[in-house]
Amino acid sequence: MREWWKDAVFYQIYPRSFMDSNGDGIGDLAGIESKLDYLSGLGVNALWISPFFKSPMKDFGYDVSDYRDVDPMFGSLDDCKRLIAAAHQRGIRLLFDLVANHSSNEHAWFRAASAAKGAREHGYYIWKPLAGRKPNNWKSLFELRSAWYPNKATGERYLATFTRFQPEFDWRNPELRKEIYDVMRFWYGIGVDGFRLDVATAYFKDERFRSNPFSWNAVPDIFQRHIYDRNRPEVHEVFKDMRRIADEAGERVLIGETHGQEAQLAAECHGKSGDELHMAFNFDFLNQPWSAAAFRASAERWYAALPPGAWPNFTLSNHDRPRAAFRFRTGDPLVTEARARLAAAMLLTLRGSPFVYYGEELGMGCQRIPKAALRDPLGIRTWPLGFLGRDPERTPMQWDASANSGFTSGRPWLPLNRDYVSRNVAAEAAEPDSILSLYKRLLALRKSRASLREGELAFLDGEDREVLAYLRSAGKERSLVLLNFASRPARFSLAGPALAGGEILLSTDAARGLGELGAEVELAPCEGLICDLR
Ligand SMILES: [Ca+2]
C-alpha cells in the first residue's frame, strides 16, 4: 500500500497568524479548527502546525517549556484533541513541530539542571567550565554572539546556538533521549500523524567541541561552516530510534529540518536502508533565482541525491524566509502575480510531496514592518537591514476585507500586509481567475491524476531555455507540464512520436482557452500549462 504522505499536499500553519478565535490578536488552535472547512475546500490533506506548546515565546514557540501541554495563548490540550478529531473527520492529517534540539531555559529540566550539578537533569544539557576561555567559536544564530552563556549557580557555561533562552540538549545522554521519545509516544497516543523535526541535524555536537572553520557564507551561516555544531554522524542512531517509534505507532511520518543546504547531507537522513526519516526537508527552492534552468538543476540535484525508494518534497516558502511571491517580485505587479501562479503550477506538479505555506495560495507577499512593530529577535537585532528578520513572512492570514482581515477582532500581534483589502480569501474565492482559484484547480487536478501524484518524471529539452518542461507518467496516463519563466512569449515543440498532441487541462494564464494541444505550443509570458498527452 502506498503511504498516505506520498500523496499528501501539506499546508504549513504558523499558528500565531492563522486565525484568532478569542480576540487577543494571536491565532490559536480553535481558530485553526474554525478554518478546517476552508482548508478542506482548498484541497490540502495534511497540516504542519508550527509549535503551540507551552513556551515563554522568546523564539515564538521554538523554545518549549512543557512538551506535553498547549500554551494557554493557543488554547488547551482539549482544544488540541478537538482539532485533531475535527481534522481527521475531514480526512486531514496533522503534523506537529517537535523542537528537540533545545528546550526553553524555563523548562523544568533546565531549571533543575542549572540549579545543581548533582541534578539528574543536569546531564540533559551541555556544560563547560565558566573559568578560562570559551570552548570554541560557536555562535548563537539569532544573537550573533558566542553560543556559550554563563550559569553562576554551577560555575559553568551552557551552550545555546539559537538564542540564549534555548539551551541545547545533550543527545548523548540516554535519559534525555528517553524523555523525548516518550514525548513523541504521548502525542502519537493523542492522534498526531507525525512530526516535523526542528533543526534535526543539530542534535549532536562534536565530541571534542572543535571550532567551526571559516566560510564566506554570511547568511544564514554567519561566516562558519557548521561541521562541528551541526551535521554530526551520531544523529543517525537517533533517527533510527525515532523511526522505530513512529512505525510502532503506525502510519506516522517524520520529516526533518535537516539544516544543511547540501542535498547530499539531507538525503543521508533517510538512512542507508530507508530506516531513518521518511523525508528530509528540501529547502533548495528557497535559494533559487527566478530561472527555469535554476529550478530544473535544483530538482535534478535533489532527485539524484535521494537514496533509492526515498520520496522527494518541495517547498517555496516557510516561516523563516521571505515569501516566494516577494522573492520573485518584479517592478510590474502583473508579472509578479504571473510568477506566483507559475511557481504554484511547478510546486504542485513536480514529483514529490509539496508543502504550501499559509497565504501562499493568496499570493501573499512581504512588506517592510516598522521598527516599533517588529517581534522577531533576529529582525530587531538586524534592523534596519533588509529582510533578515522573519516577521514579514509571519503576518496574519488575510481572510476578508473587514478590519484586520477578519483574522482577529482585537489588535493583531503583527501588522497586516497593506494589500489585504483586495488580496484575501473572500475576494479571491469569488473570483474564478484568482490565484486562490488556481491553487484549488491545481490541487484538484493533482488529486485526479495518478501521473501528477505518483508518476515518474522526465525533464524535456526544448529550444527555449526559459521553458521548464517535464513529463509525468503513470501507466498509460501522461501529463505534460510546460512552464515559461520568461516575461515574453515562448515556444515549445512537441517533437517526436512520443509527444503526438493532447489536451490542455489547465493554464495559469486566465486568457488561455483550454482544449486541443497543437504540435507547436506558444506560451504566453510566465504561462504554465498542464496537458494530458495521448
Ligand atoms: Ca487568540
Q: Are residues 437 and 334 in the same domain?
A: yes
Distance in Å, CA 408 to ligand 1 centroid: 8
Contacts with 187 (C-beta within 8 Å, 6 or more apart), sequence order: 96, 195
Q: What is the CATH number of the domain that holds 132?
A: 3.90.400.10
Q: What pairing do the DSSP bridges indicate for beta strands 66-70 and 93-98? A: unpaired
Mean pLDDT computed over every residue of the chain: 95
Distance in Å, CA 316 to ligand 1 centroid: 28
Instruction: Decide if 416 contacts 405 (C-beta within 8 A).
Output: yes
Q: What is the CATH number of the domain that holds 328?
A: 3.20.20.80
Q: Are residues 529 and 463 in the same domain?
A: yes
Distance in Å, CA 171 to ligand 1 centroid: 34
- State pLDDT tens for residues 442-499: 999 999 999 999 999 999 999 899 999 999 999 999 999 999 999 999 999 887 656 6
248 in catalytic set: yes
Distance in Å, CA 180 to ligand 1 centroid: 28
- Confidence band for 355, pLDDT divided at 50, 70 and 90: very high
Percent of the chain topping pLDDT 70: 98
| Residue 486 domain flag | yes
| Residue 471 domain flag | yes
What is the CB neighbour count within 10 angstroms for residue 76?
A: 15
Q: Are residues 290 and 424 in the same domain?
A: yes
Query: What's the first-to-final CA gap in the chain, in angstroms?
Result: 28
Can you read off the three cell numbers belonging to residue 36?
478546517
Q: Are residues 464 and 523 in the same domain?
A: yes
Distance in Å, CA 28 to ligand 1 centroid: 5
Q: Give one DSSP letter per residue of 303-320, joined into a string.
A: HHHSPTT---EEES-BTT
Catalytic-labelled residue, pool 97, 121, 156, 198: 198
Distance in Å, CA 20 to ligand 1 centroid: 4
Residue after which a domain boundary falls, among 117, 144, 159: 159
Dihedral of CA 189/191/193/194: which sign?
Answer: negative
Q: Are residues 38 and 87 in the same domain?
A: yes
| Residue 196 domain flag | no
Residue after which a domain boundary falls, among 415, 442, 469: 442
- State pLDDT tens for residues 508-529: 999 998 888 888 899 999 999 9
Distance in Å, CA 61 to ligand 1 centroid: 14
Distance in Å, CA 19 to ligand 1 centroid: 8
Distance in Å, CA 35 to ligand 1 centroid: 14
| Residue 23 domain flag | yes
| Residue 228 domain flag | no
pLDDT of residue 499: 67
Q: Are residues 435 and 371 in the same domain?
A: yes
Mean pLDDT, rounded, for 273-298: 96
Q: Are residues 401 and 463 in the same domain?
A: no
pLDDT of residue 515: 87
Distance in Å, CA 215 to ligand 1 centroid: 42
Distance in Å, CA 74 to ligand 1 centroid: 6
Mean pLDDT, rounded, for 9-16: 98
What is this structure's pTM? 0.96
CA–CA dist 223, 243 (Å, integer):
34
pLDDT at 32 over 90: yes
Q: What is the CATH number of the domain that holds 480?
A: 2.60.40.1180
Contacts with 180 (C-beta within 8 Å, 6 or more apart), sequence order: 67, 98, 100, 169
Can you read off the three cell numbers belonging to residue 328?
520573485
| Residue 164 domain flag | no
Q: Are residues 347 and 380 in the same domain?
A: yes
Distance in Å, CA 285 to ligand 1 centroid: 32
Q: Are residues 324 and 378 in the same domain?
A: yes
Mean pLDDT, rounded, for 19-29: 98
pLDDT at 222 over 90: no
Q: Are residues 384 and 311 in the same domain?
A: yes
CA–CA dist 499, 197 (Å, integer):
42
Q: Are residues 304 and 414 in the same domain?
A: yes
- State pLDDT tens for residues 165-191: 999 999 999 999 999 999 999 999 999
Mean pLDDT, rounded, for 103-117: 98
| Residue 125 domain flag | yes
Q: Are residues 395 and 308 in the same domain?
A: yes
Catalytic-labelled residue, pool 3, 78, 247, 248: 248
CA–CA dist 357, 362 (Å, integer):
10
pLDDT at 401 over 90: yes
pLDDT of residue 382: 84
CA–CA dist 176, 166 (Å, integer):
16
24 in catalytic set: no
Domain range holding 131?
A: 108-159
| Residue 35 domain flag | yes
Residue after which a domain boundary falls, among 384, 416, 442: 442
When divided into structural domains, the chain yields a total of: 3
Instruction: Decide if 456 contacts 473 (C-beta within 8 A).
Output: yes
- State pLDDT tens for residues 58-106: 999 999 999 999 999 999 999 999 999 999 999 999 999 999 999 999 9
Task: Give residue 492's identity as a one-letter amino acid code.
Answer: F
